[in-house]
Amino acid sequence: MGRAPCCPKEGLNRGAWTAMEDKILVDYVAAHGEGKWGNIPRVSGLRRCGKSCRLRWLNYLRPDIKRGNISPEEEDLIIRLHKLLGNRWSLIAGRLPGRTDNEIKNYWNTVLKKKLKSKEQKTS
């Protein structure tokens, strides 16, 4: 007795997205707007789960996303906000225009946490 699956798992593409799939998704969102992600595979012909389409759009394809290196000022803000808010990535990302919560979380776990640990070890 659980939740019904969001989509049939057979025949779905998994793994990296192709440029053609990205174009189909961008064109769909341009024509129909964001939302109703479960309809996208049926309407657009994409062989992806609706959740996968939503995450791809929100984390990579939105036009207002700021991609690339995180500046030292952004790093300082992330560190200060993490001390204040903890692992509440969406709240932290809300203070950094154009950055996604996923990008901030990944940057914290791969770069900043290690940088802060090494600073602590040098001072102790």
pLDDT bracket for residue 6 (50, 70, 90): low
SS3 13: coil
For tokens 């189909």, the residue is: 24
Q: What is the mean pLDDT of the chain?
A: 89
- pLDDT higher than 70, residue 124: no
Across 74-92, average pLDDT: 95
Do 35 and 54 fall within a single domain? yes
Confidence band of 41 (pLDDT split at 50, 70, 90): confident
Helices (DSSP H) in the chain: which residue ranges? 19-32, 40-44, 50-56, 72-85, 89-94, 101-107, 113-123
Q: Indicate which CATH number applies to the domain containing 36.
A: 1.10.10
**105 within a domain of the structure (yes/no):** yes
Tokens of 108: 């914290």
Separation between Cα atoms, residue 64 and residue 67, nearest integer Å: 9
The total number of residues shown for the chain amounts to: 124
Task: Provide the domain count of the chain.
Answer: 2
Distance of alpha carbon 49 from alpha carbon 42, whole angstroms: 10
Report the pLDDT averaged over residues 80-94: 94
Range of the domain at 45: 19-61
